[in-house]
Amino acid sequence: MGPQVIDEAPKHTARITALLAEMREISVAVSGGIDSVTLAMLATQTPNVSVQMYHAVSPAVPSQATDRVKQLARDYGWNLKILDAHEFADEDYLSNPVNRCFYCKTNLYKAISTVTEEVILSGANVDDLSDYRPGLDAAKNAQVRHPFVETHTDKEMVRAIAKYIGLGELSELAASPCLSSRVETGIRIDPELLPLINESERLIKQFVSPEPKTVRCRLRATGIVIELDGGSLSILTTQEERSLKGLINEVFEKRGYRYSVSFDAYKLGSAFIHIQPVHTQPL
């Protein structure tokens, strides 16, 4: 984070809170990531604005994200409502097409809109516009607003604002998309499997020292692929790989799943394959 970005954080913060003040009554979809958490904090710090936070829980949401949102709500007095978006009752979502996020967000915004008439806000930032984000199409359909996009705020500035408004170490929170994003396109989303993917990633972070900057436990047609940032992968010894494979096998086998396990360098969105969905089952 460059010094110029840090210096511009107060001005950028004022621009966003001015936008929020115009809305008067708002609902914030809080996933637990740094973008939505920062937006929620800005909303609560904006005078004369009524704010309701919504956090959806499901097998695709890491438990640590839910714990983080609940703790922040206690610490800062958020008016928080926990809900189920029911995406796991949606066959279009479960079949895991390449635009699965569209169905996830469609269900989320539908669930929120059934309990409020206030404008719904998301933490999307301008960097998201250059990535493949079908969830943004769902947001458009639901008339969701993105204050960071409207104020031309990118990810680096979101982190600078988070630090400026007092979120401390959370400003460096690593990105962690929903657990379904770990499942290769076309492999059916199994709600029993997603917590095991999360458990594996947490185990790897505890096992590998220093803690990796990025860990993804991907489920592919060929088996489990553990993706690590280049630095962590380069120092992983053959013995450590062997030990980790054994530990990860234990995580999945205790619930009746058997996969081969391999390691690779982290690639953004590498579980997305632009093909027609083909349903497969665990080995």
pLDDT surpassing 50 at residue 282: no
**Whole-Å CA distances, 188 to 10, 67, 69:** 45, 27, 28
pLDDT surpassing 50 at residue 276: no
Whether the Cβ atoms of residue 248 and residue 203 lie closer than 8 Å to each other = yes
Kindly write down the DSSP assignment for every residue of 16-82, as one continuous string: HHHHHHHH-EEEEE--SSHHHHHHHHHHHTSTT-EEEEEEE-STTS-HHHHHHHHHHHHHHT--EEE
Q: What is the mean pLDDT of residues 114-118?
A: 95
- 148-207 pLDDT, tens digit per residue, is 999 999 999 999 999 999 999 999 999 889 999 999 999 999 999 999 999 999 999 999
Q: What is the mean pLDDT of residues 230-246?
A: 95
Which residues, in sequence order, are CB contacts of 5 under 8 Å at separation 6+? 156, 157, 160
Whether the Cβ atoms of residue 149 and residue 124 lie closer than 8 Å to each other = yes
What pTM does this model have?
0.92
At residue 236, the pLDDT reads: 94
pLDDT surpassing 90 at residue 8: yes
Residue-range domain boundaries for the chain: 3-172, 179-265
Whether the Cβ atoms of residue 228 and residue 208 lie closer than 8 Å to each other = yes
At residue 274, the pLDDT reads: 59
**Whole-Å CA distances, 91 to 4, 155, 179, 189, 190:** 47, 33, 17, 10, 12
pLDDT surpassing 70 at residue 39: yes
pLDDT surpassing 90 at residue 89: yes
Does 179-265 carry CATH code 3.30.70? yes
Does 3-172 carry CATH code 3.40.50.800? no
* CA 192, chain centre distance (Å): 19
- One-letter identity of residue 150: E
Q: What is the mean pLDDT of residues 35-46?
A: 97
* CA separation for the pair 105, 114 (Å, rounded): 14
Q: Work out whether the CA dihedral 126, 127, 130, 133 comes out positive or negative.
A: negative
Name the residue among 152, 150, 173, 153 with its Cα closest to residue 161.
153
pLDDT band for 235, please (50, 70, 90 cuts).
very high
Per the prediction, the chain carries an average pLDDT of: 93
